């Protein structure tokens, strides 16, 4: 305010007064009329408290800007806390994913080892079954050969006995067999 008055005095006392013709304090001097009009305008502005209104508006605007800055600062802090939270969550998720991958690898290795053992057991069981089949087939073949040999031997013996046996010898063999069966039955 004091600067404004000092500026008005300096302007009024300076060169316009020197440039005018005739007395300065006359209504015919346009410079004087402009000066009086300007001073009246300033007085009306001061009477209507325009500078305080402008100051109030500027203060209100400054408070609004300060409020917006505070809100922006609060939003920034909230965003930083959210970012930190999401970074922590992302780190936790990454650690959990790493644990899951490690666990999955361990389970896969364990499953592969179990499958290998199961395969070995299955192979051993199949080998044993094949060996049993071979032994069974071998026993069956031996039995068939023996049966065939017995059959051939009986047939040959029958032919030999039939050629060498007389009627009396045959009768005595039949009587002996009957007696032996009777003894075993009683």
Q: How many angstroms separate the first and last alpha carbons of the chain?
A: 156
Please indicate, yes or no, if residue 152 is contained in any of the structural domains: no
Please indicate, yes or no, if residue 38 is contained in any of the structural domains: yes
21 DSSP assignment: S
Residues in the chain with pLDDT values less than 70: 1-22
Report the domain count for the chain. 1
Please indicate, yes or no, if residue 159 is contained in any of the structural domains: no
- 176: Cα within 13 Å, side-chain hemisphere: 6
pLDDT at position 168 is 80
Please indicate, yes or no, if residue 29 is contained in any of the structural domains: yes
Please indicate, yes or no, if residue 139 is contained in any of the structural domains: no
Q: Which residues, at least 6 apart from 32, have a Cβ–Cβ distance to it below 8 Å?
A: 20, 24, 25, 26
Please indicate, yes or no, if residue 158 is contained in any of the structural domains: no
Encode 62-108 in three state secondary structure: HHHHHHHHHHHHHHHHHHHHHHHHHHHHHHHHHHHHHHHHHHHHHHH
Range of the domain at 101: 2-113
Is pTM beyond 0.85? Reply is no
Asked if residue 12 lies in contact with residue 35, where contact means CB atoms within 8 angstroms, the answer is yes
pLDDT at position 17 is 47
Please indicate, yes or no, if residue 20 is contained in any of the structural domains: yes
CA angle 85, 89, 90 (to 5 degrees): 115
Alpha-carbon span 72 to 70, nearest angstrom:
5
Please indicate, yes or no, if residue 85 is contained in any of the structural domains: yes
At 49-66, the pLDDT tens digits run 999 999 999 999 999 999
Distances (CA, A) of 49 to 5, 37, 39, 45, 63: 16, 18, 15, 6, 21
């Amino acid at each position: 305010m004091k600067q404004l008055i000092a500026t008005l005095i300096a302007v009024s006392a300076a060169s316009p007064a020197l440039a005018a013709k005739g007395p300065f304090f006359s209504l015919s001097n346009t410079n004087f009329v402009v000066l009086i009009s300007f001073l009246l305008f300033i007085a009306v502005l001061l009477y209507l408290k325009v500078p305080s209104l402008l100051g109030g508006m500027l203060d209100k605007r400054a408070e609004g800007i300060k409020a917006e800055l505070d809100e922006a600062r609060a939003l920034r802090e909230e965003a930083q806390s959210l970012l930190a939270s999401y970074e922590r969550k992302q780190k936790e998720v990454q650690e959990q994913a790493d644990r899951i991958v490690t666990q999955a690898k361990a389970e896969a290795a364990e499953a592969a080892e179990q499958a290998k053992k199961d395969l070995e057991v299955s192979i051993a069981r199949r080998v044993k079954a094949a060996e049993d089949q071979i032994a069974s087939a071998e026993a069956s073949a031996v039995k068939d050969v023996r049966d065939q040999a017995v059959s051939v031997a009986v047939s040959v013996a029958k032919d030999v006995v039939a050629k060498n046996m007389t009627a009396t010898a045959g009768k005595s063999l039949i009587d002996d067999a009957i007696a032996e069966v009777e003894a075993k039955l009683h």
